[in-house]
Amino acid sequence: MTTAFVPLLLIGVLTCSGVYLLLERNLTRMLLGLLLVGNAINLLILTVGGPSGNPPIYGRTSSGRTTTADPLVQGMILTAIVISMGSAAFVLALAYRSYRLTTAEEVPDDPEDARVLQQKEDEADEDVVRPQPQRDEDEPAELDELPLPSKTESQRT
């Protein structure tokens, strides 16, 4: 059995580009990557189904071919296309929602994960009550509302 070289090359190129895009943090690019890889796999399924032939309908021939095309691969690709379309729509909705909420559409870090990672050894113990810095009682209450100056800012000044 011979396999056409061009589809295989195309599958390779599509997969490479798709994986490259998947490694980004930007959601739209990741989605494009997923779609490219998905198309590469669909093409792969089509290629492994054998050479082209008559339409897989009983009694139909097309341009005098003797073999019939494999209907199963076409059914599988159709299913896979529909599924990936639905998922892509969901990812787009998520990306839009993420953009509305955080004005970024990147894959964010897990804040709890970051907190666990950064805590020092004594902080890891939930039994220790850390002393809160005492506030001067004479301070006016409005100062509570003001955001505390962050460390970087105080270092800069």
Partner 1 sequence: MSVGSALTPLPVLIPIGGAALTMFLGRRPRLQRAITLAALSALVAVCAALIYLTDRHGTIAVDVGGWGQTVPGLGPLGIALVVDRLSALMMIVSSIVLLAVVLYAIGQGIRDGDERQPVSIFLPTYLVLAAGVCDAFLAGDLFNLFVAFEVLLTASFVLLTIGATTDRVRAGIAYVMVSMVSSLIFLFGIALIYAATGTLNMAELALRLSHVAPGTRSALFAVLLVAFGIKAAVFPLSTWLPDSYPTAPAPVTAVFAGLLTKVGVYAIIRAHSLLFPGGGLDTVLLVAALLTMLIGVLGAIAQSDIKRLLSFTLVSHIGYMVFGIALATRPGMAGAIFYVAHHIIVQTTLFLVAGLIERQAGASTLRRLGGLAAASPLLAMLFLLPALNLGGIPPFSGFLGKVALLQAGAQDGSVLAWVLVGGSVTTSLLTLYVLARVYSKAFWRSRADAPEGALAAASPTVLLDDADDVAFIDRADVGRMPVGMLVPTMGLIGVGLSLTVLAGPIFSYADRAAAEVLDRQQYISAVLR
Considering beta carbons, is residue 63 or 103 the nearer one to partner 1? 103
**Between residue 56 and residue 115, which ones bind partner 1 under the rule CB under 8 A?**
72-73, 76, 79-80, 83, 86-87, 90-91, 94-95, 97-98, 101-102, 107-108, 110, 112-113
# residues contacting partner 1 (CB under 8 A): 39
Phi, psi of 49 (to 5 degrees): -75, 0
Burial of 33 (0-12, 13-18, 19+ CB in 10 A): buried
Segment 118-157, which members bind partner 1 (CB under 8 A)? 124, 126-130
Q: Residue type at 69? A: A
The yes or no reply on residue 38 touching partner 1 (CB under 8 A) is: yes
- C-beta separation of 109 from 116 below 8 A: no
CB proximity list for 76: less than 8 A, separation 6 or greater: 45
CB of 113 to partner 1, least distance (A): 6
Among 34, 69, 136, 152, indicate the residue that binds partner 1 (CB under 8 A): 34
Strands of 1-157, DSSP E = none
Between CA 51 and CA 87 the distance in angstroms is 30
Q: Which residues bind partner 1 (CB under 8 A)?
A: 22, 27, 30, 34, 37-38, 41, 44-45, 48-49, 72-73, 76, 79-80, 83, 86-87, 90-91, 94-95, 97-98, 101-102, 107-108, 110, 112-113, 116, 124, 126-130
